[in-house]
Structure 1
Amino acid sequence: MFESVMWLIVVAGGPLLLALLMAYVLMTRRHRGPAERMESDRATKRLYSQDER
């Protein structure tokens, strides 16, 4: 009996835990605003220009 309950926890609980984790990440991920995107683009261009030298 204990083995079948443990198997159920592993088989059903694993995907459930993974789905909850993915939902949490999708809900809490932060989107960058236009100013942050522009600053990131400027920094990227600056790094690439330094790399070409």
Structure 2
Amino acid sequence: MFGSDLWLFVVAGGPLILLIAIIYVLFTRRHRGPVERRDSDRATERLYREQKD
């Protein structure tokens, strides 16, 4: 009986833990504002220009 209970926990618990992790990431990820996006784009363009030289 213990073996089947453990297997049920693994089969049901694994996807549940994965779902909780995905929800956590979706709610806590940080969105960049327009100023941060612009600065990042400028820095990226500068790095590409430096690599071409």
TM band (smaller chain):
over 0.9
Give the superposition deviation at 1:18: 0.1
The alignment's TM-score, normalised by the length of structure 2, stands at 0.99
Q: Matched residues, percent identical?
A: 62
How many aligned residue pairs are there? Answer: 53
1:11-48: CA deviations, max 9, x gaps? 00000000000000000000000000000000000000
Gaps of 5+ in 1: none
The alignment's TM-score, normalised by the length of structure 1, stands at 0.99
| Counterpart in the other structure of 2:45 | 45
Could you say what the CA RMSD is over the residues aligned between the two structures, in angstroms? 0.3
Gaps of 5+ in 2: none
| 1:25 equivalenced with 2:25 (yes/no) | yes
Give the superposition deviation at 1:9: 0.5
Deviation beyond 6 Å, 4+ runs, structure 1: none
